[in-house]
Structure 1
Amino acid sequence: MLTSEYGTHCLHVDTTAFSVSGEYDADFDSRDMTITYGHPKDGRWDLKQFVLGMATDQHGIPLFLQTFSGNESDKKTLLTIITHLTENLQHPSKVYHIADAAFYTAENLATLGTHTFWISRVPATLNEVKDLVAADLVLQPCADDRYRYAEHASEYAGIPQKWVVYHSAPMQEQQEKTFAKRLENDWKKVETSLRKLRARAFACEPDARIAAEKWLQEHSQFCFTSMDIQVITQKKTKKRGRPKAGEPVETVYTVSAEIEHDAKSFEEKRQKLGRFVLATNDRDLSPDELLANYKDQGTVERGFRFLKDPSFRVAEIYLKKSSRIQALAMIMVLCLFIYAMTEFRLRRNLQETGETVTGQTKKQTQKPTLKWIFFRFRRVRELRFLEGEVVTVLVTNILSSAVPSPILK
């Protein structure tokens, strides 16, 4: 039973891959997992790997872990984790299982049905999402003034859902930095496509004009600055040189065109940067709650960063049995549990007492990371002075705005 002390109503699910060293042959294979090549998130395509799946609450406290084969698909692993969670963890109120877009498949949604509540980002590859993101929507302000939203009812995989289109000002600002680079890449691709159109020979002028119009429809972000149909007389034999007297020839038509970016299309596309779609099967959830719950997905990602941090002192992994790899994963996640629980209690005590600490940005905060607190205590010393029967304890080098005072025992 999940306790309500920590407000555990959001379970954030994600996976990451750990590369392994050494030779792993077929003898290692077991029913539980296989060490094999997959999609490495650390860029080490030369190493085999295993996948670690984990679920945390919104405070980053890990509640579940499971190891998978190195080539296991996220679509399957995320469903497996959520299924185990629903079978083994209970909570008196609603529990939301939160995952990224890899979870959002028709098979997964149909498997969970309507009784297990979930929140997910909808893949941008779905046609319905493309249409929503590109549509002219009336966006309402969120409680967080960096976001605006528009609600949309959907029924995907036979499951009635609430979709919410969000516009994020920070995301738009970030995407605009790469927007110009994407336009440059698009321009190169379009120029290649246009050269192919110019090289085609058509039997009649109408065919050439139809091809030009079709090309323009397929590249709607561009427009013709000039377009003409040229008439060319050429040999039927395709040999070089001018046709000789009496040699059979044919008349063909080619497209001669120059292009530029469509200014209107360019601006519309730029204005719609920073949009994304979140979905949930709890249609009573408000857009503000939906966004707030999903944004905490970063807690499980921060947990993975903790496990992969060099300071964790886990370097090259080489264990000959799957049970030993599973044991190592358990120890690592237990360390994360202690770290996350300590950090949660530290932050809760700061909120209860109304006190703050100086954060890494030199601003006062009630949500410091535990790693930062450890860093601040790196030079703290405790000095003990014995005067007769009285022991005086002095703590020095505390990095705070307050002047340390002696503590008498």
Structure 2
Amino acid sequence: MYIRTISRKNKDGSKVEYVQLAHNYRDPKSKQARAEVLYSFGRKDQLDMEAIRRLAKSVERFLAKTGDVETQCKLQFPGEDVRFVESRPMGGVFVLKKIWDRLRISECLDKALADRQYTAPIGDAVFAMVANRALAPDSKLAVEDWAAKDVHLELDQPLKVQHLYRAMDFLLENQEAIQKEVFWSTANLLNLEVDLVFFDTTSTYFERDEEDEEGLKRYGHSKDKRKDLPQVVVGLAVTKEGLPIRSWVFPGNTPDVNTVEQIQKEMNDWKLGRVVWAMDRGMTSEENRAILQRGGGNYILGEKLRGSNMSKAVLGSPGRFTTVRDNLEIKEVTAGDGACRRRYVIVRNPKQVKRDQATRERLIRRAEQEIEAIGDLTGKKHTKAACALLSHRSMGKYVRELKSGKLKINKAKITEEEKLDGKYLLSCSDDTLSPEEIALGYKQLLEVERAFRTLKSTLDLRPVYHRKDERIRSHVTLCWLALLLVRLIELETGMTWNQVRRILERLHMGEFFLNNSRILQRTELTQDQNKLLKKLKIKPPPLIKKIDLTS
């Protein structure tokens, strides 16, 4: 590392010298030594060169690696005033901001901000809340302190709580336009094919026991198993790569089947072109089939295996299974004629067959033990134990009651269930898709489930503490933006976000004062950090971020 000067010639023939901090490295392609500028001090005629000479002498001896930083610095610089002020994690924020800029999200926000008279730093506030959601999820009130003290976040001005809430209001006012702009920017940059769209819903609850009969917070079927708390229903559409396209928020008592019309109508307005919707059996109804085919759309829907005459007929149809990729066996069945004709694909997973068999055998053993413990009830009144067994969610279907009152294992039900082991049933309206494409396409619906797991566990979508509906919607939009960044990073690195985050958060920015000169310098990159940045095609941050000469 060394100080150097370079000169530039102006149009009038005069020369201007600039002072730079540089170091040499070997170019891996040319195998020649090249100079890399670490920091530019500015014009030589405007600098205190003596102060730079003193600083250069100190930097050359700046070799402390371990132990107490301030003590080590003083040992390295005897007789000089050296203070280590603080060190904050910077790696996670640095990478998230690079991905944010690559997807041109700031440009999308600026487009929505055009012709608006905002004095608050809306763009910085939105990014800070998204980064917080990805790195250290906390309340919006806590984000102000986090941005100021807990992370090295480069902002044009300090963020205040009122800036954050104003930014949330802005997101709500422009929610659809922003989601549309951000998605198309992402799709165009990554060359995404949006021909297969996956949609599913989840629920997220509130830490309060009062519902809002006029708003979003309502009691409903909780997928978090918290039926004691009011909730909202969150819908998410994702690409086959697992990247979120758009999010929705519905009242907490909205059945899954009732969400389809709204999402299909709103996504049609985006003019995605040919779209095949993939949804699970909770969305399946005759009305929704017609809705999904409006405007030339198509569907792949999960069908119920039990309780439907059509399902029984399809599952009982003759024909052999064909083995395809991903350990799946498939069989295509066509039912009905003319306008009532419908394509079905029966999918069987041999590994799941064994798992289902093992699970059933364990349940039957437990049921037999319960029946033995209850004893012979012939001619006697039912006990609570007998009622509990018959109504048990898992074991109950394998137990039947004789006219005499005696309990026995239902062998007919076992035989019936054996025929369904490892199977699921799909219907599809698109004749251009092969049975294999239908089966593998539906299997990718797991990407939505993975996205929901990330939203709930990693990004802390739940529980929600916001009281107003508009804040709830904005909160979900912030989680959607964070999920977009996180999923893209996972796709490009082949690692989970938790693994990536751990590696990146070890990269810190240190603040030092050396003879009244303030220095911002990052820690050395580890091998893992270098590999991550290369996979993401991100240039490492400069070693020395800033040098302020105060004397």
Class of the TM-score when normalised by the shorter of the 2 chains: 0.5 to 0.7
Read off the aligned partner of 2:285 and give its amino acid letter. T
| 1:272 Cα offset (Å) | 4.7
| 1:266 Cα offset (Å) | 5.9
User: Does structure 1 retain, via aligned residues, the 8 Å contact 2:204–2:234?
Assistant: yes
Partner of 2:205: 19
Give distance in 2, aligned partners of 1:189 and 1:107: 44
Read off the aligned partner of 2:262 and give its amino acid letter. T
Give distance in 2, aligned partners of 1:56 and 1:301: 10
Q: Any idea what SS the aligned residue of 1:21 has?
A: coil
Give distance in 2, aligned partners of 1:382 and 1:318: 32
Partner of 2:436: 288
Match of 2:353 among 172, 180, 193: 172
Q: Any idea what SS the aligned residue of 1:179 has?
A: helix
Give distance in 1, aligned partners of 2:262 and 2:466: 25
Structure 1 unmatched runs, 5+: 200-220, 223-253, 348-366, 384-390, 402-406
User: Does structure 2 retain, via aligned residues, the 8 Å contact 1:110–1:158?
Assistant: no
| 1:184 Cα offset (Å) | 4.7
Give distance in 2, aligned partners of 1:173 and 1:95: 35
Query: How many residue pairs align between the two structures?
Result: 319
- In the alignment, does 2:551 pair up with 1:371? no
| 1:130 Cα offset (Å) | 2.7
Structure 2 unmatched runs, 5+: 1-179, 380-397, 511-520, 532-539, 544-551
| 1:151 Cα offset (Å) | 0.7
- Cα gap change, 1:159/1:370 in structure 2, threshold over 3 Å: closer, same or farther? farther
**CA deviation vs aligned residue, 1:104-144 (integer Å, no higher than 9, x gap):** 11121133346211111111232221343355541122233
Q: Any idea what SS the aligned residue of 2:225 has?
A: coil
Match of 1:324 among 446, 471, 476: 471
Alignment of 1:182-261 (within 5 A): 182-184=363-365
Partner of 2:255: 73
- Cα gap change, 1:398/1:149 in structure 2, threshold over 3 Å: closer, same or farther? closer
| 1:377 Cα offset (Å) | 4.1
Partner of 1:8: 194
**CA deviation vs aligned residue, 1:265-287 (integer Å, no higher than 9, x gap):** 96785365111111110022111
- Cα gap change, 1:100/1:266 in structure 2, threshold over 3 Å: closer, same or farther? closer
Partner of 2:69: none
Alignment of 1:264-279 (within 5 A): 270=418, 272-279=420-427
Partner of 2:450: 302
Partner of 2:486: 339
Give distance in 2, aligned partners of 1:49 and 1:302: 21
- Cα gap change, 1:258/1:13 in structure 2, threshold over 3 Å: closer, same or farther? closer
- In the alignment, does 2:306 pair up with 1:121? no
**CA deviation vs aligned residue, 1:28-54 (integer Å, no higher than 9, x gap):** 554xx4311111111112211111111
Q: Any idea what SS the aligned residue of 1:395 has?
A: coil
Partner of 1:148: 329
- Cα gap change, 1:50/1:169 in structure 2, threshold over 3 Å: closer, same or farther? same
- Cα gap change, 1:186/1:104 in structure 2, threshold over 3 Å: closer, same or farther? farther
User: Does structure 2 retain, via aligned residues, the 8 Å contact 1:52–1:67?
Assistant: yes
User: Does structure 2 retain, via aligned residues, the 8 Å contact 1:21–1:47?
Assistant: yes
Q: Any idea what SS the aligned residue of 2:259 has?
A: helix
- Cα gap change, 1:400/1:63 in structure 2, threshold over 3 Å: closer, same or farther? closer
Q: Any idea what SS the aligned residue of 2:220 has?
A: coil
Question: Which is further off, 392-401 or 150-159?
Answer: 392-401
| 1:74 Cα offset (Å) | 0.4
Partner of 1:104: 284
Q: Any idea what SS the aligned residue of 1:68 has?
A: strand
Q: Per residue, is there more strand in 1 or in 2?
A: 1
Read off the aligned partner of 2:322 and give its amino acid letter. Q
Q: Determine what percentage of the aligned residue pairs are the same residue.
A: 21
Question: Which is further off, 146-155 or 277-286?
Answer: 146-155
- In the alignment, does 2:342 pair up with 1:161? yes
| 1:163 Cα offset (Å) | 0.3
- Cα gap change, 1:181/1:393 in structure 2, threshold over 3 Å: closer, same or farther? closer
| 1:56 Cα offset (Å) | 0.9
| 1:103 Cα offset (Å) | 1.3
Partner of 1:238: none
Partner of 2:13: none
Partner of 1:55: 237
TM-score norm. by structure 2 comes to: 0.49
User: Does structure 2 retain, via aligned residues, the 8 Å contact 1:381–1:395?
Assistant: no
| 1:312 Cα offset (Å) | 2.8
Give distance in 2, aligned partners of 1:304 and 1:20: 17
User: Does structure 2 retain, via aligned residues, the 8 Å contact 1:120–1:278?
Assistant: yes
Q: Any idea what SS the aligned residue of 2:451 has?
A: helix
Partner of 1:251: none
User: Does structure 2 retain, via aligned residues, the 8 Å contact 1:380–1:397?
Assistant: no
Give distance in 2, aligned partners of 1:95 and 1:136: 32
Partner of 2:145: none
Give distance in 2, aligned partners of 1:392 and 1:333: 30
**CA deviation vs aligned residue, 1:338-365 (integer Å, no higher than 9, x gap):** 2223333x25xxxxxxxxxxxxxxxxxx
